[in-house]
Chains A and B, each alone.
Chain A
Amino acid sequence: MPELEARLRGLSDEVAWPPTPDLSGSVGAVLAARREDGHTPRRRRVSRRAIAAAVAALVLIPAAGAAAFPGARDDVLEWLGLRHTEVQRTPSPPPPAAVRTGLDLGRRTTLADAARRAGFTPLLPAGLGAPDVVRVARLGAATRVTLVYRPRPGLRSLRGLRAGLLVTQVRGSLEGQLLRKVAGPGTDIRQVQVDGSPGLVFSGAPHVYLYLDPAGNILEDRPWLAGTTLVLERGDAVLRLEANAPPARLDQLAATLRAGPPPAP
């Protein structure tokens, strides 16, 4: 009954398909941005060996790890008071079978579009003005917004990037997920209060983030260069500031974070 197939095909005309977005434009912009930034996509599979090595370093240093930050055990419990951020010195490696590609900064867009996609108004460091570049990426069920500020006095260039400061923000919809910070013995971790909000400053040796999404996938996010990283909870969002600057400079910048003025249409 060819008529039946024809009727089924006719259903296609009944569907009000959502307008097709300009993917050629957005994909082209991402590819161009990657070439401009001088790097290939930072998505890479996390090797089992790499995770094992990172975790092995932690297993070997229970005492050294405690020495790296005062009152370690109690502080760790307090850190867990960061509702959406957990910092763990992991005793055993995560299941390697679940490992998949990591995350990059995402697609380039405008501040207004980022706010629309993320469902919140990104906070801006008041003294720096509007970011030079805004990027968004999906992170599980949430949208991650990254503000890129070009190098300037006091904010030297992050290695391999035309950026002096990255401000990453994810809404609290991460609740229910785990955000783990795997840090080796060379990483100094310091608890801070910034403008009344709890936070953690990581500096020293490189470290790696492992996100565990609701589907059980482990997502690696290695900060662009492990200069100094401040992870901060503000309201229902988790913010991360990365800069090639002393921790005190990040504290200053974080203290100025405010919801920016409405972006121009």
Chain B
Amino acid sequence: MARLAEDADLIGRAQRGDDDAYGMLVERYQTIAFRTAWLVCGDAAEAEDAAQEAFLKAHAALPRFRPGAPWRPWLLRIVANEARNRRRSAGRRTHLAGRVAGLDAAPPSAPGPEDVLLAGEERDELVSALRHLDPPQRSVVLLRYVLELSEAECAAVLGCRPGTVKSRASRALARLRVELEGGDA
């Protein structure tokens, strides 16, 4: 709660033109914004640009930001949109979920999350099980558990409702359990 109150204070100051306050907001959320962008577009340089642009757009939109509303999901929605646009512009068709396990597209030229996860030996059966999830389920697992976003934040990034995130995550976990137990779901 203290964090929300601090956010609200910084946002209020930023809305009144205090760029230092906005700088503190950026500093506070730059890691989650950058990582979200990286997972969506799979390229660190693109992710940096997307995250920066998202912070600038968020700044421009501050007058329309509703006081007391949670800042992080609002920001992450902008970040995800920006990263998706860049991925689309670059002609990449890789689904976000493919970045977890590198399933549905040729690997990008620069190492992406999937390469890191899979570097060296196969990490473990868990990654193998993730491969068997369908892309929407894998996206939710990636955002919800690996990036540790809330359901509301996952929904903002994916452009769906929190209830969809919840049900999709539940089905994904059930499927993973089956995979890990050697079943055939």
**Which residues of A approach B to under 8 Å, CB–CB?**
1, 4-5, 7-9, 11-12, 14-18, 20-24, 26-28, 30-32, 35, 41, 43, 107, 117, 138, 140-141, 213-215, 217
Contacts and interface: CB of A to CB of B under 8 A. Distances in A.
B105 interface: no
Contact of B23 (A4, A12, A27, A117): A27
15 contacts: A1-B177, A5-B145, A9-B146, A12-B147, A17-B38, A21-B52, A23-B26, A27-B26, A27-B59, A28-B22, A28-B23, A28-B26, A31-B19, A41-B60, A107-B52
Contacts of A31: 19, 22, 56, 59
A28 B91 contact: no
Interface stretch (B1-9, B64-72, B82-90, B155-163): B82-90
B47 interface: yes
Given A4-B176, A14-B123, A20 B88 contact: no
A44 to B, nearest CB: 11
Interface string B45-89: 111110110011001100000000000000000000000011011
B34 A20 contact: yes
Q: Which 10 A-B pairs have the closest CB atoms?
A: A8-B145, A24-B27, A23-B30, A18-B44, A24-B26, A20-B31, A28-B23, A27-B55, A21-B48, A215-B88
A24 B48 CA distance: 12
A11 B117 CA distance: 8
A71 B151 CA distance: 63
B18 to A, nearest CB: 11
B55 A23 contact: yes
A138 B86 contact: yes
Interface string B13-24: 000000100111
A117 to B, nearest CB: 7
Contacts of A18: 34, 38, 44, 47
B126 to A, nearest CB: 6
B132 interface: no
A8 B48 CA distance: 26
Interface in B122-157: 123, 126-127, 141, 145-148
A4 B180 contact: yes
Contacts of A140: 89-90
Contact of B33 (A4, A11, A23, A214): A23
B126 A7 contact: yes
A175 to B, nearest CB: 13
A15 B38 CA distance: 12
B103 interface: no
Given A5-B145, A27-B23, 13 more contacts: A8-B146, A12-B145, A18-B34, A21-B34, A23-B30, A23-B55, A24-B23, A24-B27, A28-B19, A31-B59, A214-B89, A215-B89, A217-B89
B45 A117 contact: yes
B52 A26 contact: yes
Q: Which of A23, A26, A215 has the most CB of B within 10 A?
A: A23
Contacts of A35: 19
Nearest to B46: A138
Contacts of B108: none
A30 B88 CA distance: 25
A11 B60 contact: no
B30 A20 contact: yes
Nearest to B43: A18
Contacts of B117: 11, 14-15
Contacts of A4: 173, 176-177, 180
Nearest to B147: A12
B113 interface: yes
A141 B91 contact: yes
A24 B127 CA distance: 34
A253 to B, nearest CB: 29
Contacts of A22: 30
